[in-house]
Amino acid sequence: MGKKEKAKERREKRLQEIQLLRSIPYSHHQRWWSKETIAVVTGGNRGIGFEICRQLAAHGLTVILTSRDATAGGESIKVLQEGGLDVVYHQLDVIDNSSINHFVEWLHENYGGLDILVNNAGVNFNLGSDNSVENARKVIEINYYGTKNLTESLIPLMKPSIVGARIVNVSSRLGRINGRRNRISNIALREQLSDVDCLSEELIDGTLSAFLQQVEDGSWASGGWPQIYTDYSVSKLAVNAYTRLTARKLSERPEGQKIYINCYCPGWVKTALTGFAGNNSVEEGADSGVWLALLLDQTVMGKFFAERREINF
């Protein structure tokens, strides 16, 4: 049996283990949440975001499903509510400051804050073997800046508790700094991004600015950037770096006011984002995100996960 076959076999075995774990209900002592626990999910009208909303609501939390398109969001919410789930809807465009401000005010007035934030909203304009960077600026604006701006706006509203609030960023292995495939070739930059003590918003934003400048002048292909889904990969590289940077900042919060932030890769999921060409179901893709959001023992912070296991950045 070759390496690929062995890897596939290990992965299939792991997915079977997770499926078994998902079938076992949380015990009483594991259920730190209640109906009063508020979870906000962005990009929740379809795909992984919709499934995360469904699973969290099925576990008994109050879920606020958000999406840019109010019509699509309204239709999605009906499906969940008809299934007896406690889910409410509010329009939210993560790259529109006025939309974010309006949502923050509404959330504060109606719920007093939130306990869980799942940053799922994201876009990808390449399907199959396509690798155009025509929409690179939009991809980075939504996937990275949207995630960052919303997170910074909602951190002040995260409720204090003994178990801590949680932020889960939906990311991708494609954005790994030191992955064997698809990594940036600039060794010095990789080392800077790998060193959490050196991480800063200036470094992350500067990396994105350099990439977008090369996109504009046409030199990106020889610039050492990821060669597969380039703009999407760079945007998720930034999300991963931001997760680690924010974890460092949040680690200084006192007990009772802790906020735990991590990111995860859902895998190649059969959704509109992949042209429904993935090999994971939405249930499998949402699983690690829901698991992270509900994990009782939140000793992990600023980590990257896939299939309920930590992986390297």
The string of pLDDT tens digits covering residues 126-143 is: 988 899 999 999 999 999
pLDDT in tens, 194-241: 999 999 999 999 999 999 999 999 999 999 999 999 999 999 999 999
CA distances from 293 to 102, 205, 217, 265, 312 (A): 25, 27, 41, 14, 20
Which residue from 4, 59, 11 is spatially nearest to 32, judged by alpha carbons? 59
The single residue of 89, 229, 232, 264 carrying the catalytic annotation is 232
92 touches 99 (CB < 8 A): yes
Q: Report whether CATH 3.40.50.720 matches the domain 33-311.
A: yes
What span, in angstroms and rounded, lies between the C-alpha atoms of 18 and 124?
27
The secondary element (H helix, E strand) that includes residue 249 is helix 230-250
- Which residue, chain included where needed, has tokens 């924010």? 246
What are the two backbone dihedrals, phi and then psi, of residue 243, each rounded to the nearest 5 degrees? -60, -45
Per-residue confidence (pLDDT) for residue 122, from 0 to 100: 97
Confidence of residue 18 (pLDDT cuts 50, 70, 90): confident
Per-residue confidence (pLDDT) for residue 276, from 0 to 100: 67
Tokens of 154: 């909602």
Percent of the chain with pLDDT over 90: 82
Asked if pLDDT for residue 147 goes beyond 90, the answer is yes
Alpha helices in 135-270 (DSSP H): 136-140, 147-154, 187-194, 201-217, 230-250
What span, in angstroms and rounded, lies between the C-alpha atoms of 147 and 154?
11
Per-residue confidence (pLDDT) for residue 298, from 0 to 100: 65
What span, in angstroms and rounded, lies between the C-alpha atoms of 125 and 245?
27
Percent of the chain with pLDDT over 70: 98
What span, in angstroms and rounded, lies between the C-alpha atoms of 93 and 125?
18
The domains of the chain are located at 33-311
What span, in angstroms and rounded, lies between the C-alpha atoms of 166 and 190?
28
Confidence of residue 92 (pLDDT cuts 50, 70, 90): very high
pLDDT in tens, 104-117: 999 999 999 999 99
116 touches 34 (CB < 8 A): no
What is the sign of the dihedral through the CA atoms of 207, 176, 261 and 283? positive
The answer to whether residue 232 is catalytic is yes
Per-residue confidence (pLDDT) for residue 4, from 0 to 100: 77
* pTM of structure: 0.95
Beta strand 259-264 with 165-170: parallel, antiparallel or unpaired?
A: parallel
Per-residue confidence (pLDDT) for residue 224, from 0 to 100: 95
DSSP single-letter state for residue 143 = I
Alpha-carbon dihedral 263, 268, 274, 275, rounded to 10 degrees: -150
Asked if pLDDT for residue 262 goes beyond 90, the answer is yes
Q: Rounded mean pLDDT of 85-98?
A: 97
Average pLDDT, rounded, for the chain: 94
What span, in angstroms and rounded, lies between the C-alpha atoms of 171 and 144?
10
